[in-house]
């Protein structure tokens, strides 16, 4: 964390002239497998990571929300909670203020408040810094208003803020992982029923490490690539006569190839096969352990590269270099068009795999990536106050 809880409390006091009522935290996430399946009512297997967003907050007597972020060059924004409407806030402040707006949209009255935000979740890296921010704010507002909302209900508020206020057509996975995660576990989520269960990962016990390779190629979900993929999936579902691509299986792909144009078919094939890979991953974790996941990670990346076309040269190089250096498997993670890859390695091989990736990027003339291990962590909650 860039600031400790004590430092954040002091920074809040210096900024707003009073002490915070508390500090809340929510983690970013790595999606182990199950990409672009969430908004297709499918299956995902993410886990919360040991990098988080912190929010110090205190209620106000009026209906004004004031927010300050120490990230980047810093910035402040404010809004009257009685006057916010969908799309009325732009820039980074749309995420925290959008969550407060979403509470009001569901009929839950929350007080005005002052917020101070800090984070060590990389922005634009595919580790869901946006969901970490949304879920920290949602957890905080839920406590200050004594609203009593559940984790799944708070996840829906975060998604509503991102869809309606920010304008990014994302699914429910990121917020669910940030809120429902538990140390040492992944979250197996059915994105139609929103039923979830924790799946033990057992990385350390099996001598394994999961490395994140942040390519430093930033992405934006509110821009065209993500939205066009979602629209293509919806067209495919309509053409195949099903409510969502979740309702298709491998057995339907031959008919899909005859019915759909080539591009739409490949988008559909990715979602169908990716759902199958998620279910297979859950079974493998239970029956064989995490070392068996490598081939599924590799197949997932190939599908995202070739069928869904959301990879980029830097992500492909990261995956290829890691595999070439002995990684058990690797794939891009997150929405695509930049961001990060993950690679599953034997802990004893982590340094050599990282060195091979760095060397490959240098040889290609790319910006040096950031590499770091992540651990499955617990979800959002109050950490002080």
Residue 163 · residue 151 · CB < 8 Å: no
Rounded distance between C-alpha atoms, residue 87 and residue 108, angstroms: 20
Rounded distance between C-alpha atoms, residue 133 and residue 95, angstroms: 7
C-alpha closest to that of 118 among 30, 25, 14: 25
C-alpha closest to that of 324 among 297, 290, 360, 288: 360
Rounded distance between C-alpha atoms, residue 60 and residue 146, angstroms: 15
C-alpha closest to that of 160 among 233, 224, 84: 84
Rounded distance between C-alpha atoms, residue 323 and residue 343, angstroms: 8
80 is catalytic: no
Rounded distance between C-alpha atoms, residue 140 and residue 134, angstroms: 10
Q: What angle do CA 211, 217, 222 make, to 5 degrees?
A: 110
C-alpha closest to that of 170 among 95, 254, 89, 267: 95
**Of residues 118, 174, 214, 307, which has the active-site annotation?**
174
Rounded distance between C-alpha atoms, residue 341 and residue 325, angstroms: 15
For 220, residues 6+ apart whose C-beta sits below 8 A from its C-beta are: 124, 168
Residue 32 · residue 165 · CB < 8 Å: no
> Helix, strand or coil for residue 250?
helix
Rounded distance between C-alpha atoms, residue 160 and residue 24, angstroms: 20
| 121-157: b (≥16 Cβ within 10 Å) or e | bbebbbbbbbbbbbbbbbbbbbbbbebebebbbbbbb
Q: How many CB atoms lie within 10 A of CB 385?
A: 15
> Which are the catalytic amino acids?
174
């Amino acid at each position: 964390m860039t600031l400790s809880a004590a430092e954040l409390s002091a920074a809040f006091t210096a900024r707003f002239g009073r002490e915070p009522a508390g500090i809340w935290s929510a983690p970013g996430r790595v999606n182990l497998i199950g990409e672009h399946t969430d908004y297709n009512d499918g299956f995902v297997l993410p886990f919360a990571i040991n990098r988080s967003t912190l929010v110090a907050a205190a209620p106000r007597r009026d209906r004004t929300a004031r927010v300050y972020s120490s990230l980047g060059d810093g910035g402040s924004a404010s809004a009257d909670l009685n006057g916010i409407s969908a799309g009325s806030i732009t820039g980074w402040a749309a995420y925290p203020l959008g969550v407060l707006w979403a509470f009001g949209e569901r009929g839950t009255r929350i007080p005005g408040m002052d917020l101070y935000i800090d984070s060590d979740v990389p922005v634009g890296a595919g580790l869901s810094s946006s969901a970490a921010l949304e879920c920290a704010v949602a957890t905080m507002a839920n406590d200050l208003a004594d609203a009593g909302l559940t984790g799944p209900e708070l996840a829906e508020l975060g998604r509503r803020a991102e869809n309606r206020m920010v304008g990014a057509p994302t699914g429910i996975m990121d917020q669910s992982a940030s809120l429902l995660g538990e140390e040492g576990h992944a979250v197996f989520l059915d994105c139609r029923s929103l039923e979830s269960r924790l799946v033990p990962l057992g990385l350390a016990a099996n001598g394994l490490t999961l490395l994140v390779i942040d390519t430093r190629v930033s992405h934006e979900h509110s821009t065209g690539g993500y939205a066009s993929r979602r629209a293509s999936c919806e067209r495919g579902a309509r053409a195949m006569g099903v409510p969502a691509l979740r309702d298709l299986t491998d057995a339907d792909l031959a008919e899909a190839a005859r019915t759909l144009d080539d591009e739409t078919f490949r988008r559909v094939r990715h979602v169908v096969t990716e759902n199958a890979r998620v279910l297979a991953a859950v079974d493998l974790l239970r029956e064989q352990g995490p070392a068996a996941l490598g081939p599924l990670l590799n197949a997932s990346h190939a599908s995202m590269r070739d069928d869904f076309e959301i990879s980029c040269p830097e992500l492909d190089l990261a995956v290829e270099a890691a595999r070439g250096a002995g990684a058990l498997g690797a794939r891009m993670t997150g929405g695509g068009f930049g961001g990060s890859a993950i690679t599953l390695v034997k802990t004893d091989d982590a340094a050599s795999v990282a060195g091979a990736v760095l060397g490959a990027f240098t040889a290609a003339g790319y910006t040096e990536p950031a590499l770091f291990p992540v651990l499955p962590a617990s979800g959002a909650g109050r950490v002080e106050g």
